[in-house]
Amino acid sequence: MKTNKLMKQIINRLNLSQENKRLISHKYNLINDDLLNLKSVHDCIIISNEDINLSDEEFMSVINSYTDKTGYEASCTEILINHYIDNESIETDELITITLLLIETLSEKLKLMSRNKDFCFIFSVDNDYKYVTLRFHKVRCNEPLWVSMDLEDYVQPIAYIII
């Protein structure tokens, strides 16, 4: 996992024991079918509750507006973790632990959909340390990651992991 200094401070204080992860997983039922409603669209994986049927021409138009497939995926896989939790006073540490648990679940599901493909999971905390956002995209050899390689460029805590 690559982190900037701000995220590293958060990660270092987490209790990532299997027992604690199990307790948090049961406490917050974040993993559900609605959230994990993944669709394959022209070699891109997105989260959508609707069927998406785009012609090659329509898809190329969509991709052009997002720059590339990586940008399209990252934009269509944004998950604001807080929106799936019925607790407005949840601590940042628990949000990050939940995010790491979700990454584990998503990576298993994504590997079934796209064998032999690596995925980049990017997560960040807002400047007020109240919200955590997760995005993911396939790692493509002909496209850059959807995150700066110098994570210190970001003013908020941010990390990414390739699985």
pLDDT digits (tens, 9 = 90+) for 82-140: 888 877 788 999 999 999 999 998 999 999 999 889 999 999 999 999 999 999 999 99
Is 38:108 a contact under the CB 8 Å cutoff? no
Q: 129 or 22, which is more confident?
A: 129
What b/e sequence results for 70-80 when a residue is b if at least 16 CB atoms lie within 10 Å of its CB, and e otherwise? bbbbbebbebe
The dihedrals phi and psi of 44, each to the nearest 5 degrees, come to: -120, 145
The rounded Cα 157 to chain-centroid distance in angstroms is 14
Sheet holding 158-162, edge to edge: 2-3, 158-162, 119-125, 132-138, 79-80
Those residues whose C-beta lies under 8 Å from the C-beta of residue 132, and which sit 6 or more positions away, are 80, 81, 82, 92, 95, 96, 98, 99, 123, 124, 125, 126
Q: 26 or 99, which is more confident?
A: 99
Those residues whose C-beta lies under 8 Å from the C-beta of residue 89, and which sit 6 or more positions away, are none
Residue 97, CB half-sphere, CA atoms under 13 Å: how many?
22
Q: What is the mean pLDDT of the chain?
A: 91
CA distance 158 to 80: 14
* Parallel, antiparallel or unpaired: strands 158-162 and 2-3: antiparallel
* Alpha helix segments (H runs only) across the chain: 5-12, 18-27, 56-66, 69-76, 92-113
Question: What domain range is 73 assigned to?
Answer: 2-162
pLDDT > 90? residue 73: yes
Q: How many domains does the chain have?
A: 1
pTM of this prediction? 0.93
**Residue 40 DSSP SS3:** strand
